[in-house]
Amino acid sequence: MPTQFDPPSGTRDFLAAEVARRERAFAAVRAVFASYGFEPLQTPAFERVDVLLGKYGDEADKLVFKILRRGEHEATGEADLALRYDMTVPLARVAAAYGSQLPTPYKRYAMGPVWRADRPGRGRYREFTQCDIDTLGSASPLADAEVLCVHHDAMAALGLTDFVMRINSRHVLFGLLEVFAVPAELGPGVLTSLDKLDKMRPTDVADEISGRGLAANVANDLVAAMTADDALDRIRTVLKPSEIGMAGLEEVDLLVALVSAQVPPGRIAFEPRLVRGLSYYTGPIWELTAAGVPGSLGGGGRYDHLIAQLGGPDVPATGSSLGVERVLMLRPDEAGPPAKMDVAVTVLTDDLAAESFALAAQARAVGLRASVYLGGSAKLGKQLRWAAEQGARWCVIYGAAEREAGAVTVRDLTEAQQQTVPAADFTAYLAREAAARDA
Ligand code: AMP
């Protein structure tokens, strides 16, 4: 049962060990993004509500966290701002705002939290972190292929190889709507329902589609074609009369061929039932999935007209997003919490506190992490235990005898040996020890 001290459902607090685990993942992903020449972009956590709404499709629009107008306008109950739902629409706004000031192509990465008013569940949060790469200004399939390879390499950098990249194209889906003679006004709804084939039974999806107004026999045929054991062959045959559908198949095949030197064949597959919920996609789309992880690990695709929709130039665009939470579900066993300190300084009596405090400062001045014991003047044994808990390599013991001798005792907690060092040599000694440790 949640208590009053739990964070709101679908959000989490991260204590140090988890922060370290996440930071390691961010660093690995960031290094891959940068290695392909993508540059960073940071945008605000919230946007004007009109920027976000209408870009994702009706279902997703409902999940945008809106922010009520404030102060004297609060009583209107209207929202003028909203928390970002993803990193893509904010990027499109930036492109519309900065236009020609951005390089062409503009290859940018963004990493940070996004918010969705989703129903929380395993691996489904209301606040989660996305790592995005996008290329604006290139209509070349190479741009799609590059984004896909970056995504693939980011997974590899995290030590993950047991996943599948499922590829489709919106043009394949448009072709299917065409050959099954789905009326234009029903198209978006039918695609929304097909998107549920992964989580709902085919008969229920077919019922939902016929509930949207499509003849039941057509809905059944469409779902049967998408879910048959030989769906891949059936879809290729069925699409033959559709120009747009065939163009979609070519896009998929070209993408798979372009990435083949980097992405092994077993890790990439044409998946005609992949829809991707967001309505801004216009060409190839993809999703990464892995056994045991709910939903997808990541996904993306080409979204050529989104920037124009926001009032900017009609720039071609493609991108991919990696969800950190889902990726970390595949890496549960990692090293424990990292050491917090290099040097732990005892405070043996109150009158020595200022000198202990100064010793810690001296240690920091030579680049080591250092702090004093904050628990009052406890026995040395207790302070040594505290030093070990901090992961400190050295415990600096400074008592009346040391003060008398103008010296400092430095205990190496790993080697379990200690040395008395003249106070004047203290920092030089620590610097030498640290250099030896790091060599
Ligand atoms: P999307 O923008 O919906 O395509 O999502 C891209 C990625 O974000 C997904 O592949 C997931 O890894 C991650 N993601 C999406 N929704 C959630 C959620 N509610 N909780 C955690 N991760 C999510």
Contact 407, 420 (CB under 8 A): yes
Q: Please state the atom number of ligand 1 nearest to the C-alpha of residue 124.
A: 20
What is the Cα–Cα distance from 388 to 367, expressed in whole angstroms?
A: 20
The CA-CA-CA angle for residues 366, 370, 374, to 5°, reads 150
Q: Please state the atom number of ligand 1 nearest to the C-alpha of residue 296.
A: 10
Q: Please state the atom number of ligand 1 nearest to the C-alpha of residue 60.
A: 3
Q: What's the pLDDT at 292? A: 87
Q: What's the pLDDT at 330? A: 87
Ranges of residues in the chain whose predicted pLDDT is under 50: none
- 3-class state of residue 303 by DSSP: coil
**Given strand 394-397, what is the order of strands in its sheet?**
370-372, 343-345, 394-397, 407-412, 417-422
Q: How far is the CA of 322 from the centre of ligand 1 (A)?
A: 8
Pocket test for ligand 1, best of 321, 324, 330, 331 (most atoms within 8 A of CB): 321
- List residues near ligand 1 (CB under 6 A): 86, 116, 118, 123-125, 128, 130, 295-299, 321, 323, 325-326
Q: How far is the CA of 61 from the centre of ligand 1 (A)?
A: 15
Contact 111, 42 (CB under 8 A): no
What is the Cα–Cα distance from 280 to 344, expressed in whole angstroms?
A: 54
Q: Read off the pTM.
A: 0.89
Contact 280, 188 (CB under 8 A): no
